[in-house]
A and B are shown apart, each in its own frame.
Chain A
Amino acid sequence: MRRDYDGGTIGDMLREIGNIGCGNALNALSSLTDESYEIKIPEIELIDCAEVFTRLDGIEQMYVSIVINMMGDINGKYVLLLNPPLACSLIKALGLGDAGDISDIPAESKSAILEVGNISCGSCITAVSTFTGMDMNVTIPSSAVDMLGSVLSQPILQFAESDPDILYIRCDFSMASDPAKSGIMLVLPEMASVDRLIERFGAFLK
């Protein structure tokens, strides 16, 4: 049965961990690209993994995705979704010139996009690991350019193979100088990891 932590101290803890993870990931992105980003307050809720698709608007819009598996004491997925204008802008900010057709980006630009995912995810998990004292590792990132529903299918449906309940942490962001350049960060730990966090912070949850 799904647990509902909204409003309680456990909800506070999960929101704080989400804020710290997403905030630090965006801090890293900001340093990497020398740009400021507007960040919406992260949305944090326990949901069935299939609900991810219904919660995201524009499921048919094109996105560049970077997916990284989180492992260790906290298992789950880190997904960075960049709309094409933002992806092109990041590639340019990293000194690789105009990306051109985003669905057919050169290998060097693709490598830069993977690095953006690596650095933002690394910053996110370093911050969460420091805060929680829990051990976290990541896999090599993978990227795709496709409709939102397609890029999310494989990573999200992998949750359904075990426990479909996940912690949904979503942070929408956009470039401060041009709000049309936007992205979505999803941090999706498995429920067993949430249980470990509750155990870890038990003393502070009263």
Chain B
Amino acid sequence: MAKILIVDDAVFMRNVIRNILQNAGYTDLVEAEDGVVAIEKYKADRPDLVLLDITMPRMDGYQTLKELLNYDSDAKVIMCTAVGQQRNIAAMIEAGACEYIVKPFNASKMILTIERQLEA
């Protein structure tokens, strides 16, 4: 089973996402509370996929995405946010994100999105 890095500054949200992933059989999970920690954990744990929140302290999701892709141009990153205006989505995809999930996410759609990216 793939290793997934969950990046979100809200413990609550990490708990919700972890629960969705565990229910789908993903148990190899790593968590980070901001972009700085996410980059450290990405380098240490080499996850197969990253679920990345956008609004975070210290380093936001957009900057984190750029840093991750600088380090590993093959990194698979799915952005997760409530702000789903077309302009934001286009900016993230242009920056190299694989997908963009707008909260609230439906558990089964989220898993399908993850599986699609893992198989790509």
Contacts and interface: CB of A to CB of B under 8 A. Distances in A.
Contact of B83 (A13, A23, A130, A205): A23
Interface size class of B (residues with CB under 8 A): 10 to 19
Give chain A's interface secondary structure class. Answer: helix
Interface string A33-72: 0001101010000000000000000000000000000000
A20 B105 CA distance: 10
A26 interface: yes
A24 B82 CA distance: 6
Contacts of B106: 130
B16 interface: yes
Contacts of B84: 23-24, 27
A36 B83 CA distance: 11
A20 B104 contact: yes
B110 to A, nearest CB: 12
B34 to A, nearest CB: 14
A37 B82 CA distance: 13
A54 B8 CA distance: 32
A176 B19 CA distance: 36
Given A16-B10, A20-B82, A204 B103 contact: no
Contacts of A26: 83, 85
A93 B19 CA distance: 42
> Which bracket fits the contact residues of A?
20 to 34
Contact of B12 (A13, A30, A36, A37): A13
B58 interface: no
A204 B15 contact: yes
A100 B19 CA distance: 53
A182 to B, nearest CB: 16
A15 interface: yes
B10 A12 contact: yes
Interface in B54-111: 55, 81-87, 102-104, 106
A130 B10 contact: no
B103 A23 contact: yes
Contacts of B24: none
6 contacts: A12-B10, A12-B13, A22-B82, A24-B82, A27-B84, A37-B85
Interchain residue pairs A-B with the least CB separation, the first 9: A23-B82, A131-B104, A12-B12, A12-B10, A204-B15, A13-B12, A36-B87, A30-B85, A20-B82
Interface of B: 10-13, 15-16, 19, 55, 81-87, 102-104, 106
Interface of A: 9-10, 12-13, 15-16, 19-24, 26-27, 30, 36-37, 39, 41, 127-128, 130-131, 176, 201, 203-206
